Amino acid sequence: MSDAYSDLVEYRETGFPGILGFDRWWGKGGTERTAAVRPSAEQIEAYRRDGFLIVPQWLSPSEVAAVLDRMEPLFLRHEWATGIAPDEVNFTAGVTAADRTRQLCNAWRADPAVAAVVLAERNGEFAAALEDLDGMRLIQDNLLWKPPSGRALGAHRDAEYLEFLDPVNMTTCWMALDDTRADTGTIYYVRGSHHWPLTARGGEFHAPDDWLAHARAVAPEGDPFELVPVEVPAGGAAFHHGWMMHGSPPNERADGERRSVVSHLAWWRTRHHPTNRHPVYSRYLRPGSVELDEAFFPIVWRA
């Protein structure tokens, strides 16, 4: 067992109040169960057939409230509770267009409330069961805020962005912080698209004019191209496969926001690719090693 993993286990049990100020990382997010930790056989079958699984109740009301309480400080004022900025900050108030979907990547490093949700053990255990894996680690989180009448996020497959991992893999837990409906810019899946041939990234991600352009361009001829919106109450979730085609259209409502928090997980034995590099996440490579450093890619669950 690595020193980093030993520290993580101890942290779950004792709190490590001196580490990054995260003395409550593993509070409600790790222990307050709001859904079955393991999916049923029927859910596993549906996930492997469709490439996604919608779970109507996942987060507790208190978990939802805790993250919502941090949205304005994080996005509008860039208040990082730990003193560490997220790895990617894709919104600056007064600079970024107001109709853009706001995004932070790896906000868990900046804020304990986000960390408690995205690093929750249950996310990893449930995802591992869907994929028949023996453990999961966090590669990246997303905190997303689509404002009223906010613009789209382009359809994509998460694995298209993961050339820096070996093997390329991802299982995503998307968690709603607001009630979501088809017309509020919720996430849409193309059912069964994880069975399509592998593709390279394409199209625009932020505020495309046609959010489905890339999906249509790579869809196999004759595919039914069935779009499925995720419509859940606040606290609901959806899990999807790394090769699932998904995106979100504009928010058609002027009176509704769509906020969500996301855990992008991968098999715990995943490593850095020996040669492929990412402009942000490959900076965490350790000299002479391709192992993923748990200080930046923490294991959330192991069998």
**What is residue 37's predicted lDDT score, i.e. its pLDDT?**
80
3-class DSSP state of 263: strand
Q: Quick one: which of 63, 58, 64 has its CA closest to 37?
A: 58
The dihedral formed by the CA atoms of 175, 179, 180 and 183, expressed in degrees to the nearest 10: -160
| Stated length of the chain | 303
pLDDT digit string (tens) for 245-281?
Answer: 999 999 999 888 999 999 999 999 999 999 999 999 9
Threshold 0.95, pTM exceeds: no
CA-CA distance, 242 to 156, in Å (whole number)?
A: 10
Q: Which residues contact 244 (CB under 8 A, 6 or more apart)?
A: 51, 52, 157, 158, 189, 190, 193, 194
* pLDDT, one tens digit for every residue, the chain (303 residues): 334 333 333 433 333 333 333 333 333 334 344 445 899 999 999 999 999 999 999 999 999 999 999 999 999 999 999 999 999 999 999 999 999 999 999 999 999 999 999 999 999 999 999 999 999 999 999 999 999 999 999 999 999 999 999 999 999 999 999 999 999 999 999 999 999 999 999 999 999 999 999 999 999 999 999 999 999 999 999 999 999 999 999 999 988 899 999 999 999 999 999 999 999 999 999 999 999 999 999 999 999
Are 47 and 195 spatial neighbours (Cβ–Cβ below 8 Å)? no
- Measured between alpha carbons, how far is residue 222 from residues 188, 196, 201, 225 in Å? 20, 12, 21, 8
Cis peptide before 167 (omega within 30 of 0): yes
In the chain the domains, ranked by start, together with CATH numbers, are 24-302 (2.60.120.620)
Q: Which residues contact 225 (CB under 8 A, 6 or more apart)?
A: 190, 215, 216, 219
**What is residue 17's predicted lDDT score, i.e. its pLDDT?**
30
* E strands, 106-187, in order: 135-146, 153-157, 165-166, 171-176
φ and ψ at residue 55, rounded to 5 degrees: -120, 105
Q: Which residues contact 196 (CB under 8 A, 6 or more apart)?
A: 218, 219, 220, 223, 243, 245
